[in-house]
Structure 1
Amino acid sequence: MTEFPKKITDDPYGAAILIRRLINEQGLTYWRRYLLAFVLMAVSAGATALSAYILGEVINKAYVDKDVRGIAILSGVTVLIFILKGVATYGHQVILSKISNAILANNQRRLFAKLMSESVGFFSERHSSEFLARLTAGAASVTQVLNLLINALGRDLLLLIGLVAVMLMQDPYMALLGFAVAPPAMLVLRKLVKRIKGLAHNQFTGTADILEIMQESLQGIRTVKAFTLEQTMRERIDTSIAAVERNANKMARVSNRSSPLMETLGGFAVAAGLMYGGYSVVAMGATPGQFFSFLTAFLMAYEPAKRLARLNIELNSNLIGARKLLEIVDSPSSEPVDDDKPALKLIDARVEFCDVTFAYRPDEPVLNRMSFVAEPGKMTALVGPSGGGKSTVLALLLRLYEVNDGAVLIDGQAICGVSRKSLRQQTAYVGQDVYLFRDTIGANIAFGKIGATQDEIVAAAQAACAHEFIMGFPLGYDTPVGEHGTQLSGGQRQRIAVARALIKNAPIILLDEATAALDSESEKQVQEAIEHLCRNRTTIVIAHRLHTIMHADAILVVEGGEIVERGRHDDLLRRGGRYASFFRLQHREAGPLTLAPISATA
C-alpha cells in the first residue's frame, strides 16, 4: 500500500497550524492594543535607525565641515530622538505585558473550567501534578509564542528594515556584502528545530515528574516520616531533577549551537565592511560620516537579525507548552454540561436501582444487574466485603459515573435524564476520607450552602455536635483547618463534614463508612451527629462496623456486585447467612447468637 507524504495539515498541533490558531483565537482579541504597541515599536525602530544616520552627519560636521553650530543642533536632535525612543519602548513593553497577563489569566481560567467539567474517571487516570504543569507552564507558553511573534514583527523586523534602509542609503554595495551571511546561517538553524522539539517535550514531562514527587511527598509526609522514607523520596526526586538538568543542558547546547556560526559569519561580514569602507574613504572619496553611519547601522542590525534567525527555535520550544495546554482544552468533556435537561423534582425521595450493571474497565463488572429500593425517609444500609461494589452504588447515584445498563430512578425519574446539578443539589454526601479545603472551619461548613449566614453555620455545627470543640479554639469558627484539615483530629473533621451536609438540607443522604476510621469516643459523637443528619431523610449508608446500622430499616448484603441478602438486622441474624457470619466475626462470637425480640413491625 502506497504511503502518501505527511501534509502540514495532518497534525492539528503542528507548528504552523498552532501559531495560526493562537493568533486567531487569542491574539486578535487584543488587536487594537497590539496595533498600538506595533506603532510604538515602529517609532522606537525609526528612532534607532535615525540615530545611526545622524551619527554620520555629526562625523561630517566635525571632520569635514568643521561646523560647531551644526554639531550642537544635531546633538540636541539626538537627545530628543533618544527620549522619544525611551517613551515608545516603555509604552509598548507595558502594553505587551498587560496583554500577556490577560491571555495568561484567560488560559488558566479556561483550563480550570475544563477540568471542572471532567468526570471522576478522567482524573483517576492521571496525576494532579500534570495539570499543575499545564496550568502554569502551558498557559505561560501561549503568551510567550504571541510575544515572540509581535516582538519579531514589531521590534526586530521594523528595526532591521530601518537600519538596512540607512545602510542602503550610505552604501548599497557594502550592504549587499553584509547580507551574504544570511543563507548559511538559516540552513544551520533549520536543522536545529527538530532537535529542539523533542528536548522541549522532555523538559515539560520532566518538570511534571518533579511536581508529582514533590506533591506526593508533602501530602504524604506522615507516611514518609513513619516509614523513614526521607532518603527514598530524596533519591526519587534527585533522579528526576538530574534528568531535567541533563535535558536542560542538552537544550542549552543545541539551542545555542548557532551562536559560534553566527558570530563567525558576523565577524567576517564586519571585517569585509571595514576593509571596503576604509578603502572607499581613502581611495574613492567617500566621506568619513558615510562610513561611520553605515558601520553603526550594520552593528546595530546584528542583534535583531540574530533574534529573527533564532525565532523558529524559540517558537518551537514554546509551542510544546501551548500544545500541552490545548490538548486538554480541546478534548471532549467527559462530564459535559447538561443544564438543558429537566431538573430533578422530588416528592418522596424514593431511590430505586433497576437491574444496574456497571464496570470501570471492560469485561470486569463491578455491579451485576443490581436491584433494590431505598424507601423515602428511611435508612438503607449496604454491608459486605471490600470490593463488592458498595461505594460504586453511591458514585452512580451522584452520577460520578454513568451506568452501563439498567437505570437508577428517584421518584420514578431516571437520573440520566435530569441535570447533574439538580441531582447533586438534592443529595448530601459524607465519606470516610473527609476532604476539607484550606480555609476556616466556618468556610468549610458553608461550602454545603453557598451564601449561608453565620447563624445557619452555627446551627449546623450544633446539630453535628461540633459547636463545642469549635468554640474551644481561640478563633472559633475562624480557625484555619490547614491543608486537607490536618490541624484537626479525625473525629473533628468528620463532624465538620456532617455539619457541611446538614447545612445543605438535602432530602437524600449518602454515607460512605463515615465512622470506620474513628475511635470509639469519636465514633459515638459522629454517630450522634449522623442521627441528626439522617432524621426523616432517605439515607443510604455503607457500613463497615455493623453495630452502627443495627437499627437500619433495610440492610442489603452486597457481594460480587450483587445483593445476596436483604432484610432487617434481627431477621438476617436468624437466617444465619452471610450477614450473620460478618456480625459473628466482628464480635468474635463462638457460640449461638443472642437474638433480640422480634417486634411486631419487623
Structure 2
Amino acid sequence: MTDSISDDRSRGARGRDTGAFAPAEPAVGAIMRRLIRGYVAPRWRLIAGAVVAMAVVAGTTGALPFLMQAAADRIFNGKDEQLLWLLPPLIVVVMGLRSVAEYFARIAQGYLSNRVVADLRGELYERLAFADIGFLQSAHSGRFVSIVQNDVSVVNLAATQSLTGMVQNGLQVIGLVVAMFWMDPILATIVTAALPVGTVALRKQKRKAHRAVDDTLKGVGRLGAMMAETLQAIRVVKSYNREAEEAARARREIEATLAHMMTTVKNRAATGPITEGLGGIAIAAAIFYGGWQGIHGSLTLGSFMGFMTAAMLLYQPVKALASLHNQLIEGATAAARVFAVLDHEQKITELPGAVPLKPGLGAIRFEAVSFAYEPGKPVLDDFSLDIPAGSRVALVGPSGSGKSTVMNLILRFFDPDAGRVLIDGQDIREATIASTRRASALLTQDPVLFDDTVIGNIRYGSEDASEAAVIAAAKAAAAHDFIMALPNGYQTQVGEGGGLLSGGQKQRIAFARAMLRGAPILLLDEPTSALDAESEAKIQEALDTSLVGRTVIVIAHRLSTVKKADLIVVLDAGRIVEIGRHQDLVDRGGVYARLYASQFDDGDAGAGAAATAEGV
C-alpha cells in the first residue's frame, strides 16, 4: 500500500491508550471550581432561583420537627383542641410548599446539568474540528467519540448533579442540625458526633474510586475504538473469517471494563453501610440519652419526638451526601479527561497579525525544509523545490520517501521543523490558516464522502455554488451521467462514507468537489486509482483541459500520469534524488529509470494501467 496524505503516523499500537486520556489523579476541588466558574456561574440567575427553591425545601424540612413536637406536647398531652384544627392544615401548607419548591429545584438542576453537557460537547466538537492532524492521529477516533459521549455523560451524572445535590442536601442538613441544636444541644451533639468519623472513612475511598473510574472510562473508550474499527473493516473481517476473533477480543475488553465498573459499584455501595452503621449508633445513643432524660429529667415526649423526627429526616440527606462524594470523584475524573482534550494546545496556529493569503496563480516553493513526525526520524531533509504556477508535478519514490508529507505541508496540516513553504511568494506561516487551505483543493486516493446527498457532497466547502456550477463540475469529473441514473439524481443519499456507491462513483464525486472549489492548486493522491479505463480517460481529459492554468501536484502511481507531468520529482529518504521530465529521466539511467523498469509495464501505458508495485 502506498503512503496516503491521511496516513496515521503518530497513533500508538492497537488498543493502547494515550497520555491525553490518562491524566493524573485530578484535584477534585480544582476541577469543580473550573466547572463552576466556566459552566455554572454564567447561569447565576438560574442558580439563584434554584438555591432559593432549595432553601425553601430545607426550611420546610427543618420546620417539620417543630410541628411534630407541637402535636405531641400541645395536642396529645395538652389537649389543645384549637391547635388540633390549625396544625393539620399548616402541615399541608408546609408540605405543599416543600413539594413545589422541590419541583422547581429539580427542574433547575436538570436544565443546568444538561446545559453543561451541551456546552462541553459543543466545545469538544469544535476543539476536535480545529485540532491539529497530529493530535487527532494520536488516538483512535473511537476514543474521541467515547469522550464526547461517555465521559461527558459521567460529568453530567456525577459532577454537575453532585454539585446541585450537595447544595440541596447540604442546606437540608444545615436546617435540620440547627433545629436539633435549638431543641436539645446535648442530644444534637450526640447525633452529629458521627459525621466527622464518616467523612474520614469516605475520604479513604478517594484514590481507589478515581482509579476505578479512570480504568472504566479507558475501557469504554477502547471498546468504542474496537467497534468503530471492526465496522469500518467489516469486509476484511468477514473475508478473513475473523468474526469470532474480533468478538472474543471485544468480549475480553468488556469483561475487563466490567471488573472496573464493579469496583466503582463496590465503592458506591460501601457508603451505605458506613452511614447506616454510624447513623444507627448515633440514633441508639440519642434514644438512650433521651430516654434517661425522659425518666429522670425534664425532657418531654413532644420534645423527644420532635428531635427524633429531625434526626430521622437528617439521615436521608447525610446518606445522599455520602453517595454524592463518590459521584463527585467520578465526575472529576471524567472532567479531567474532557479538559485534557479541551486544554490541548494546537501546534498549528496563526501568528499575531496573520493576513489572508493574497490570491495568485499557485506557484509553490519549498526552501530548505526539514520535517519529522517523530523526533530523530526526519521525513524531509533539507528539501528545496520550486513548482511554477500552472505546472503539473508528479511526486514519485518508494513508500516513506516523503511524498504525502509534501502535500501535508502545503495544506499546513503540519509546520516544517526548519525552512519555509511559500505559495505565490508568501510564507504560509504568516498567512491565515483558512486562506492557506482555500488556495488548494485536495483529492485523496481513498475518496471521503459524507452521509449526505450527492449535491451536498459536491458542494462541501463550496456551499454557495450554484446548481449549474455543480453540474458542470460533475460533468468535468465524468460523474453527471451516473448521477442522473441514481434514484433521485443529485438528491440521492450516498450513505455512510458513500457506502451506497461504487468505489469509482465515490472517486468521481470527490473529484467533482475538488473541481468545484476552483482553487489555484490541486493536490491529487492519484485520483484515478479506483476508476475503470473509460472513466479514467474522461478524468484525464478533464485534467488536460479544465485544469489548464492550475498548479497540479500528484502522487503518481500510473504511467499515464507520470508521462504527462511537466516535472517529475523523485524522492528517496526525504530528499530529491532526481528531477526532470519522463524521457529525460529514463535516458539518464538513474533511480527513476530503475523504478520505471521494475514497476511500469509499457504495454499498459495507453490505458494508463496501474503500476504493479508501490512507490511510483
TM-score by length of 2: 0.88
8 Å CA contact 1:339, 1:420 repeated in 2: no
Q: Distance in 1 between matches of 2:151 and 2:437?
A: 32
Determine the structure 1 residue equivalent to 2:363.
Answer: 350
Stretch deviating more after TM superposition (106-115 or 483-492): 106-115
Equivalent residue of 1:563, what SS? Answer: strand
Stretch deviating more after TM superposition (433-442 or 133-142): 133-142
Determine the structure 1 residue equivalent to 2:5.
Answer: none
Displacement after TM superposition at 1:310 (Å): 4.3
165, 174, 179: which one aligns with 1:151: 165
Q: Deviations over 1:438-462 (max 9, x none)?
A: 2221111111313333333222222
Distance 1:44 1:529, change over 3 A: farther
Q: Distance in 2 between matches of 1:525 and 1:80?
A: 82
Determine the structure 2 residue equivalent to 1:230.
Answer: 243
Q: Distance in 1 between matches of 2:265 and 2:142?
A: 25
8 Å CA contact 1:339, 1:421 repeated in 2: no
- Moved segments of 4+, more than 6 Å: none
Determine the structure 1 residue equivalent to 2:607.
Answer: none
Q: Distance in 2 between matches of 1:533 and 1:588?
A: 28
Q: Deviations over 1:454-495 (max 9, x none)?
A: 333222222222121112111222222222111111111111
Determine the structure 1 residue equivalent to 2:606.
Answer: none
Determine the structure 1 residue equivalent to 2:139.
Answer: 126
Determine the structure 1 residue equivalent to 2:388.
Answer: 375
> Cα RMSD (Å) of the superposition?
2.4
Determine the structure 2 residue equivalent to 1:8.
Answer: none
Displacement after TM superposition at 1:405 (Å): 2.5
**What amino acid is the match of 1:556?**
V
Q: Distance in 2 between matches of 1:30 and 1:436?
A: 40
Q: Distance in 1 between matches of 2:228 and 2:596?
A: 40
Determine the structure 1 residue equivalent to 2:476.
Answer: 463
Q: Deviations over 1:534-584 (max 9, x none)?
A: 232111111101123322222222223223333223333333443343334
Determine the structure 1 residue equivalent to 2:127.
Answer: 114
Whether 2:304 is the aligned partner of 1:303: answer: no
Displacement after TM superposition at 1:587 (Å): 4.7
Distance 1:247 1:348, change over 3 A: closer
Displacement after TM superposition at 1:331 (Å): 2.7
The aligned runs of 1:161-240 (5 Å cut-off) are 161-240=174-253
Displacement after TM superposition at 1:70 (Å): 2.6
Equivalent residue of 1:540, what SS? Answer: strand
Distance 1:180 1:586, change over 3 A: closer
The aligned runs of 1:243-392 (5 Å cut-off) are 243-281=256-294, 284=297, 286-338=299-351, 340-392=353-405
8 Å CA contact 1:188, 1:258 repeated in 2: no
Larger relative contact order (C-alpha < 8 A, sep ≥ 6)? 2
Determine the structure 1 residue equivalent to 2:485.
Answer: 472
Equivalent residue of 1:570, what SS? Answer: helix
8 Å CA contact 1:382, 1:543 repeated in 2: yes
Q: Deviations over 1:166-208 (max 9, x none)?
A: 3233333322221232233222212111221211211121111
Q: Deviations over 1:290-335 (max 9, x none)?
A: 2222221111100112233444433222111111111222232122
440, 444, 449: which one aligns with 1:431: 444
Q: Distance in 2 between matches of 1:263 and 1:63?
A: 32
TM-score by length of 1: 0.90
Q: Distance in 2 between matches of 1:14 and 1:250?
A: 21
Equivalent residue of 1:382, what SS? Answer: strand
Q: Distance in 1 between matches of 2:545 and 2:352?
A: 32
Q: Distance in 2 between matches of 1:221 and 1:128?
A: 17
Stretch deviating more after TM superposition (371-380 or 420-429): 371-380
User: Please, which runs of 5 or more residues in structure 1 have no aligned partner?
Assistant: 1-10, 591-602
Displacement after TM superposition at 1:286 (Å): 4.1
Percentage of identical aligned residues: 37
Determine the structure 2 residue equivalent to 1:86.
Answer: 99
Determine the structure 2 residue equivalent to 1:6.
Answer: none
Equivalent residue of 2:413, what SS? Answer: coil
Whether 2:554 is the aligned partner of 1:554: answer: no
413, 428, 450: which one aligns with 1:415: 428
Stretch deviating more after TM superposition (488-497 or 99-108): 99-108
Distance 1:164 1:505, change over 3 A: same
Distance 1:33 1:337, change over 3 A: farther
Number of aligned pairs? 580
Q: Deviations over 1:332-354 (max 9, x none)?
A: 21222458312222333222223
Distance 1:573 1:261, change over 3 A: closer
Displacement after TM superposition at 1:533 (Å): 4.9
User: Please, which runs of 5 or more residues in structure 2 have no aligned partner?
Assistant: 1-23, 604-616
Q: Distance in 2 between matches of 1:297 and 1:201?
A: 39
Distance 1:50 1:528, change over 3 A: farther
Displacement after TM superposition at 1:394 (Å): 1.0
